Amino acid sequence: MPLDGGPRITRLAETFFAEVTEIDISQPLDDELFEVLHQAALEHAVLAFKVQHLTDEQQVAFSKRFGPLEDDLMEPSQHVAFMSNRESDGSLRDPDSRLSKFLRSNQQWHSDSTFYQAPARYSFLSARRMPAIGGATQWADLQAAWEALPASRQAELDGLILEHDFQRSRMKEGLVFTDEERAKWPPLRHPLVRRHEETGAKCLYVGSQAETVVGWGEDAGKGLIDELRDFCAQDRFVHTHEWDEGDIVMWDNRRVNHRGRPWDEGAEVRIMHRTSGRGTGPTMENGAAVDEYERWRNAS
Ligand code: OGA
Ligand code: MN
């Protein structure tokens, strides 16, 4: 590629992550181009598009090409999650404020929206304002991590179930939630070894929103979760993207973890806009999971 002016797709990391050039994604994708990108997303898991400078409407239109979108957690009336440390009056938000802490949990390794039984399929993140220093984003290939484990270890892990609780990951940043907030987002379960429904490949589905291993004691469970999360975060599975303003990166949450890197929040502005595509189905076939998925599907 390209043979006839189609996009150029260049792998940037050993096992995943490609940059797509010679493409303008501000324009509607025809079926042929969509299929090229869909296949590339399945193959490389993360696709970076340099300096596209999309408007929110264009970002929503591009994202929707891959399926229906999630609503923003904090502003359910909109599809775009605005992540900014700048207040409406132009000042920088206090890094110790509740919202700063909430957003800073994005700097822990995670896969998006594990608080849904059908977690996000793709996420799309665009850089609108970047600090001069810091503020990169990293992705880790959870399929490569799984495949790097010896078969004996894989056999021990396959079949384990984790309980995920995204508010606990925020509590690690010092946030406190009310009982009502805790009740609204109860912990829920996902398999540790997740089979990708489109590629069939297995991945280690574990990040900082995972709290316990079902049926294990608390310390043993936490020990395993921390060990595997760190295993997946080794350099050999990780690629770092240094943003230019206008870049947009899409990734497959079924196969990669990601995390933002710090910057001087008290001194520099960083503004990112994210859209996420709804999961196509629950990760586990239990009653509650299916109900939740039906609710989502009917609403879309
Ligand atoms: C996200 C996220 C990381 C970043 O938007 O889901 O984790 O670098 N962002 O802003
Ligand atoms: Mn995220």
In angstroms, how far is CA 86 from the centroid of its own chain?
23
- Residue range 228-277, pLDDT digits in tens: 999 999 999 999 999 999 999 999 999 999 999 999 999 999 999 999 99
Q: Is the pLDDT of residue 82 over 70?
A: yes
Q: Which residue has the higher pLDDT, 300 or 168?
A: 168
CA distance 129 to 19: 20
- Residue range 108-143, pLDDT digits in tens: 999 999 989 899 999 999 999 999 999 999 999 999
277 in Cβ contact with 66 (< 8 Å)? yes
Output the DSSP codes for the chain.
--SSS--EEEE-SSSS-EEEES--TTSPPPHHHHHHHHHHHHHHSEEEE-S----HHHHHHHHHTTSPBPPPSS-TT-SPEEEESB-TTSPBPPTTSHHHHHHHGGGS-B-TTTTSSS--SEEEEEEEE--SS---EEEEEHHHHHHHS-HHHHHHHTT-EEEE-HHHHHHTTT----HHHHHHS--EEEESEEE-TTT--EEE---TTEEEETTS-HHHHHHHHHHHHHHHTSGGGEEEEPPPTT-EEEEETTTEEEEE----TTTS--EEEEEEBPPSS-SS-SHHHHHHHHHHHHH-
- Residue range 20-33, pLDDT digits in tens: 999 999 999 999 99
Atom of ligand 1 nearest to the CA of 274: 5
Of 45-49, 73-77, 78-82, 258-262, the one with minimum mean pLDDT is 73-77
Residue 173 banded pLDDT, cuts 50, 70, 90: confident
Residue 76 banded pLDDT, cuts 50, 70, 90: confident
CA distance 127 to 145: 28
CA distance 267 to 119: 34
Backbone angles phi, psi at 175, to 5 degrees: -80, 150
Q: Is the pLDDT of residue 286 over 60?
A: no
Q: For residue 26, which of 1, 60, 3 has the smallest C-alpha distance?
A: 60
* Confidence at residue 293, expressed as pLDDT on a 0 to 100 scale: 46
Cβ atoms within 10 Å, residue 233? 16
* Confidence at residue 4, expressed as pLDDT on a 0 to 100 scale: 62
Q: Is the pLDDT of residue 297 over 80?
A: no
CA distance 128 to 82: 10
Atom of ligand 1 nearest to the CA of 136: 8
| Nearest residue (CA) to ligand 1, atom 8 | 260
Pocket of ligand 1 from Cβ distances under 6 Å: 83, 106, 112, 123, 125, 137, 258, 260, 272, 274
Retrieve residue 87's tokens: 């207040």
% of the chain surpassing 90 pLDDT? 80
* Confidence at residue 257, expressed as pLDDT on a 0 to 100 scale: 98
Ligand number with the minimum distance to the CA of 107: 1
Longest dimension (CA), the chain: 58
How remote is the CA of residue 257 from the centroid of ligand 1, in Å? Answer: 10
* Confidence at residue 294, expressed as pLDDT on a 0 to 100 scale: 52
How remote is the CA of residue 258 from the centroid of ligand 1, in Å? Answer: 7
| Nearest residue (CA) to ligand 1, atom 5 | 274
| Nearest residue (CA) to ligand 1, atom 4 | 260
- 153 contact partners, CB below 8 Å, separation of at least 6: none
Q: Return residues with CB closer than 5 A to ligand 2 (ion).
A: 112
Question: Look-up: residue for tokens 């502003």?
Answer: 75
Retrieve residue 124's tokens: 């799309």
Mean pLDDT of the chain: 92
| Nearest residue (CA) to ligand 1, atom 3 | 260
How remote is the CA of residue 3 from the centroid of ligand 1, in Å? Answer: 34
Q: Is the pLDDT of residue 287 over 50?
A: no
